[in-house]
């Protein structure tokens, strides 16, 4: 239950240097992997963007403990590397504005999110109208949201919700080609590797956080 989750009243009250002991200072988390599972994406992106702080959110305690152990072991094996990734156990559907300032994030990742197939369970999908406004709030303008799933119905659901939201637009195929992260969405994570083993399909959709027209 949620009473197990510790969360700050405000992002500045959280002790970020615990998560990134070698890199504390003025930098803030810029990449967020929502429902990071076993952490494969963080481990892949860490050396690609060594200056950016990245955080995985994971609700399952055993899984988040595993990711933490994995990162600590990598830091011991490669003392100059993997200082920019960390994991936090929390419910990403509830506390994001407690952890991140408005406009803080450059990238958010939703890789193979739980599909919640039954209609009565759709409200548990991590992409929905209400949560998209929260994601838009913590994303920087021009920030990017990456999604991939093997479930066609969920892919279509995510596309419709992002396209209907006034603060997001979908990136074109051409725009995707120049982004080195795209190819990493398919195989970096444990779930992506499982889908490959089962010969599943993979559907990618990427969106940009556009600027707030009403602002000025």
Nearer to ligand SAM, 71 or 92 (CB): 92
71's enclosing H/E stretch is helix 61-77
The answer to whether 140 and 209 are in contact (CB under 8 A) is yes
Active-site residue flag, 6: no
**How many of the other CB atoms lie within 10 Å of CB of 144?**
20
Sheet holding 53-58, edge to edge: 85-89, 53-58, 29-34, 105-111, 139-149, 203-209, 168-170
Q: Which stretch binds ligand SAM (CB under 6 A): 8-16, 106-114, 136-144, 159-167?
A: 106-114
- Given 2, 12, 69, 114, which residue is catalytic? 114
Asked if residue 80 belongs to a known ligand binding site, the reply is no
Contact residue for ligand SAM among 42, 53, 88, 111 (CB under 6 A): 111
Q: Which stretch binds ligand SAM (CB under 6 A): 2-10, 54-62, 162-170, 197-205?
A: 54-62
Q: Does 205 bind ligand SAM (CB under 6 A)?
A: no
Beta-strand ranges (E) seen in the chain are: 29-34, 53-58, 85-89, 105-111, 139-149, 168-170, 203-209
Asked if residue 58 belongs to a known ligand binding site, the reply is yes
Contact residue for ligand SAM among 52, 91, 98, 128 (CB under 6 A): 91
Q: Which stretch binds ligand SAM (CB under 6 A): 8-16, 65-73, 108-116, 206-214?
A: 108-116
**Distance of closest approach, residue 147 Cβ to ligand SAM, in angstroms:** 11
Residue with tokens 């799933």: 149
**Distance of closest approach, residue 36 Cβ to ligand SAM, in angstroms:** 6
The C-alpha atoms of residue 85 and residue 31 are separated, in whole angstroms, by 9
Q: Does 54 bind ligand SAM (CB under 6 A)?
A: no
Q: Does 189 bind ligand SAM (CB under 6 A)?
A: yes
The C-alpha atoms of residue 209 and residue 216 are separated, in whole angstroms, by 17
Q: Does 67 bind ligand SAM (CB under 6 A)?
A: no
Asked if residue 190 belongs to a known ligand binding site, the reply is yes
Residue with tokens 């919700």: 161
Residue with tokens 């195989």: 187
Asked if residue 164 belongs to a known ligand binding site, the reply is no
Contacting positions for ligand SAM (CB under 6 A): 35-37, 57-60, 63, 91-93, 111-114, 189-192
């Amino acid at each position: 239950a949620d009473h197990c989750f510790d969360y700050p009243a405000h992002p500045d009250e959280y002790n970020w240097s615990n998560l990134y002991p070698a890199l504390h200072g003025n930098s803030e988390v810029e990449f967020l992997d929502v429902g990071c599972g076993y952490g494969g994406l963080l481990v892949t992106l860490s050396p690609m963007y060594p200056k950016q702080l990245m955080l995985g959110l994971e609700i399952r305690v055993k899984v988040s403990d595993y990711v933490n152990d994995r990162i600590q072991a990598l830091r011991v094996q490669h003392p100059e590397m993997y200082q920019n990734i960390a994991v936090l156990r929390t419910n990403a559907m509830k506390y994001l504005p407690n952890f991140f300032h408005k406009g803080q994030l450059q990238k958010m990742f939703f890789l193979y999110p739980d599909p919640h197939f039954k209609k009565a369970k759709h409200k548990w999908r991590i992409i929905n109208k209400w949560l998209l406004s929260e994601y838009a709030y913590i994303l920087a303008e021009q920030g990017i949201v990456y999604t991939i799933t093997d479930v066609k119905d969920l892919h279509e659901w995510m596309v419709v919700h992002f396209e209907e939201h006034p603060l997001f637009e979908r990136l074109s195929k051409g725009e995707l080609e120049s982004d080195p992260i795209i190819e990493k969405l398919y195989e970096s994570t444990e779930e992506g590797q499982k889908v490959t083993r089962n010969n599943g399909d993979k559907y990618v959709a990427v969106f940009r956080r556009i600027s707030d027209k009403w602002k000025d």
